C-alpha cells in the first residue's frame, strides 16, 4: 500500500510539473488575479471573462516568472471566456485530450496560477453531459464538472487527467458556487470566432418574450402545451421585418417547439445567421405560418 501511494504521489507530481507551463497568471482585476491557459505558442491565451475587469493594462505572468503585457482580443460572456494575446512567443500549450473516454469518478487535477507558482487541486469528475446551453446563452459542446471547489485563481486554469491530458478550461463564472470545465471543442470554436470577428456571433430575432401556457383548445390543436408570448419587438429587427407583433404567441421555429427562452436561444447559433426559418405563431387565436430571417446580434 505504501509503494502504491508513493507511486501515485510521484505520478501526480510529474503530471503537474509537465502541465504547469501551460498555465499563466492573468492580472486584469483590481482585487484578485485569475489564471489563463496557453492556447498557442505565438501568444494566444484563454482567460475568464468574469475575472477580467478591464480591457487595457492587463498583464500576464508566465511560467518562467516573467510578466508581460496582454491585449484582450475579445470576449464571449455566454461561455465566460476571454481571448488574450500576450507579448511573448514560444509558449507551451497543453496536450489536449479527448473527453470521449472520460467517466464520472475519474481522477483529475485542476491547475491554476494565482501567484508566481502553479497550484494544483485534486478531485474526481462528478458530472458529464453531451451538451449544455449556459444560463448566459452560450453553447458548450460537452458539460464537465469536477469535485474540485473553485478557489482563488481557479477560473481560466486547466483541468487535466492523471495522464496529463488537458480536458478543458475551468470557470466559476457560469454557475453560482460551482466550477465548470469547458472542453477543447468549445474553446476552439470560441477562440476561432473571437480571433476572426472579435466576438462569438449569435443570431437574434429582436424580441422580448416569456413562456406562456396555451389554452386547452389551442394546445390540443397544436400538439404542445406552451409557447413564447412576444412582449416586445425591436424596431427594424428581423422579427419586425417578418411581421411579428406584440402579443403574438411564438409556437415553433424551424420545426422545434418553443416552451422556454432556452429553446429559442438554442436555435440561434452562428450557422443559422442569414437563414430564413419557418415559424408557427398564434395571433388573435389563429395559427399562422411566417418566415423569419435570423440576424446578427448587434
Q: Give the three-class secondary structure for 208.
A: strand
Last residue of a domain, one of 200, 216, 244: 200
Longest dimension (CA), the chain: 76
Q: Please tell me the number of Cα atoms within 13 Å of 90 on its side-chain side.
A: 2
Q: Do residue 230 and residue 178 come from a single domain?
A: no
Encode burial over 55-72: b for 16+ CB neighbours within 10 A, e otherwise.
eeebebbbbeeeeeebeb
31, three cell numbers: 482585487
Would you give the end-to-end CA distance of the chain in angstroms? Answer: 60
User: What is the count of structural domains for the chain?
Assistant: 2
Q: Do residue 84 and residue 180 come from a single domain?
A: yes
Whole-number Å distance between alpha carbons of 5 and 217: 67
193, three cell numbers: 470566432
**Length of the chain in terms of residues written:** 298
How high is the pLDDT of residue 119? 94
Q: Do residue 235 and residue 140 come from a single domain?
A: no
Q: Do residue 112 and residue 21 come from a single domain?
A: yes
Q: Do residue 36 and residue 116 come from a single domain?
A: yes
Whole-number Å distance between alpha carbons of 222 and 91: 57
- 21: domain CATH number is 2.40.10.120
The stretches in the chain having pLDDT less than 50 are none
Q: Is the dihedral of CA 219, 222, 227, 231 positive or negative?
A: negative
Nearest to 125 by CA among 91, 142, 148, 149: 148
Last residue of a domain, one of 147, 174, 200: 200
Q: Do residue 66 and residue 138 come from a single domain?
A: yes
Nearest to 277 by CA among 260, 262, 258: 258
Whole-number Å distance between alpha carbons of 261 and 263: 5
- 232: domain CATH number is 2.30.42.10
Last residue of a domain, one of 174, 200, 226: 200
DSSP for 87-120, written as a single string: S--S-----B--STT--TT-EEEEEE-SSSS-EE
Q: Do residue 10 and residue 139 come from a single domain?
A: yes
How high is the pLDDT of residue 2? 64
Nearest to 195 by CA among 298, 59, 82, 51: 82
Q: Are the beta carbons of 263 and 256 closer than 8 angstroms?
A: yes
List of long-range contacts for 233-238, beta carbons under 8 Å, 24+ apart: 233/206, 233/207, 233/208, 234/206, 234/207, 237/204, 237/205, 237/206, 237/207, 237/295, 238/204, 238/205, 238/206, 238/292, 238/293, 238/294, 238/295
Q: Do residue 194 and residue 219 come from a single domain?
A: no
Q: Do residue 171 and residue 250 come from a single domain?
A: no
How high is the pLDDT of residue 155? 94
Q: Do residue 89 and residue 155 come from a single domain?
A: yes
Q: Do residue 35 and residue 171 come from a single domain?
A: yes
Q: Which domain holds residue 192?
A: 1-200
Q: Do residue 106 and residue 34 come from a single domain?
A: yes
Whole-number Å distance between alpha carbons of 167 and 22: 13
Whole-number Å distance between alpha carbons of 31 and 100: 38
pTM above threshold 0.85: no
Amino acid at each position: 500500500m505504501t509503494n502504491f501511494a508513493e507511486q501515485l504521489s510521484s505520478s501526480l507530481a510529474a503530471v503537474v510539473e509537465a502541465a504547469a507551463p501551460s498555465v499563466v497568471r492573468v492580472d486584469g482585476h483590481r482585487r484578485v488575479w485569475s489564471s489563463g491557459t496557453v492556447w498557442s505558442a505565438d501568444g494566444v491565451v484563454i482567460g475568464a471573462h468574469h475575472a477580467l475587469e478591464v480591457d487595457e493594462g492587463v498583464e500576464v505572468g508566465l511560467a518562467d516568472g516573467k510578466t508581460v503585457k496582454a491585449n484582450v482580443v475579445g470576449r464571449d460572456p455566454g461561455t465566460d471566456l476571454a481571448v488574450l494575446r500576450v507579448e511573448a512567443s514560444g509558449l507551451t500549450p497543453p496536450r489536449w485530450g479527448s473527453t470521449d473516454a472520460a467517466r464520472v469518478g475519474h481522477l483529475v487535477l485542476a491547475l491554476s496560477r494565482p501567484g508566481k507558482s502553479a497550484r494544483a487541486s485534486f478531485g474526481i469528475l462528478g458530472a458529464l453531459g453531451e451538451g449544455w446551453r449556459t444560463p448566459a446563452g452560450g453553447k458548450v459542446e460537452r458539460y464537465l464538472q469536477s469535485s474540485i471547489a473553485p478557489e482563488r485563481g481557479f477560473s481560466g486554469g486547466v483541468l487535466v487527467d492523471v495522464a496529463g491530458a488537458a480536458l478543458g478550461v475551468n470557470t466559476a463564472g457560469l454557475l453560482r458556487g460551482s466550477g465548470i470545465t469547458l472542453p477543447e471543442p468549445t474553446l476552439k470554436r470560441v477562440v476561432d470566432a473571437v480571433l476572426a470577428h472579435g466576438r462569438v456571433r449569435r443570431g437574434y430575432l429582436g424580441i422580448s418574450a416569456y413562456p406562456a401556457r396555451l389554452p386547452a383548445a389551442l394546445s390540443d390543436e397544436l400538439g404542445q402545451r406552451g409557447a413564447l408570448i412576444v412582449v416586445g419587438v425591436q424596431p427594424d429587427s428581423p422579427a419586425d421585418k417578418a411581421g411579428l407583433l406584440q402579443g403574438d404567441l411564438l409556437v415553433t421555429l424551424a420545426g422545434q417547439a418553443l416552451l422556454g427562452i432556452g429553446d429559442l436561444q438554442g436555435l440561434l447559433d452562428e450557422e443559422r445567421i442569414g437563414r430564413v426559418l419557418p415559424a408557427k405563431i398564434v395571433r388573435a387565436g389563429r395559427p399562422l405560418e411566417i418566415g423569419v430571417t435570423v440576424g446578427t446580434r448587434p
